[in-house]
Structure 1
């Protein structure tokens, strides 16, 4: 497996971790639970525990990675709300008596800009976490991600 593929897989895992964490935030929020931040936080903790087991992370590495993840979640949470608002805006635009293509395009462009901003943050997180892991740990992570990707590909 080339370095590019390993980096791509690492990006996928960390991006998925954040996406799923933000998804838990959204579900909790819309289901009227006991606090969206708590739901996303507990989901993030479970995902990190799995990550730590997979790469055999040391306590020192965990102490570095935990605050990195928390900071990323704090940065991405407002973006999640913005995305929710964009979805509402698109639904409203589609329900209008006439389709305003210029407004739809403007909303689409806003969504792309938001996705770009989020991806920049996720890549920064990946680099920060990667700096905390050894090459052997990153290799383990890449192998695990490859297996996950294969299972997912066969399900679809």
Structure 2
């Protein structure tokens, strides 16, 4: 396998780990949306995710100082998208319980949700590239190996 392919795979796996973290963050926010501690819980989750990442790749202090703001900004960017999807879900439930099904409204909602998912996906890919730029090829390889083992065991970074 060429170095480009290994690095590409490592970046994708890193993105998967970060996406899993972002997904867990979104679920945490959804589950705790009524709690006044939601922002604290989300921050704590991101802190745990980053700490785990840093240990796995033996990140330097300089790398930590570059990666942390990238991840935190991505979480801030993704939060409004999560909130929009939450509202869309509630709207879809309302449409499904209406006396008649408005197929046009459902289709419009579906198309809007796809656009939102595409925006979130693009933001996650940007995060993958940004974080990957901060890691050495050897660190990306370490992370890819760790994530591969975690995947084989059916675990993700967000479980730690």
If asked which structure has higher relative contact order (CA below 8 Å, sep 6+), I would say 2
* Contact 2:25-2:46 within 8 A present in 1 as well: yes
TM-score normalised over the length of structure 2: 0.88
Does residue 22 (structure 1) correspond to residue 26 (structure 2)? The answer is: yes
| Residue 150 (structure 1) shift | 1.5
Identify the residue that residue 79 of structure 1 maps to in structure 2.
Answer: 81
Q: What is the total number of aligned residue pairs between the two structures?
A: 151
* Contiguous gaps of at least 5 residues in structure 2: 156-160
| Residue 78 (structure 1) shift | 0.7
Identify the residue that residue 147 of structure 1 maps to in structure 2.
Answer: 149
SS of the residue corresponding to residue 97 of structure 1 reads coil
Structure 2 distance, partners of 1:60, 1:90, is 46
TM-score normalised over the length of structure 1: 0.90
Q: State the superposition RMSD in angstroms.
A: 1.5
Moved more, 34-43 or 71-80: 34-43
1:30-69 map, 5 Å: 32-69=34-71
Change (3 A) 1:7 1:132: closer
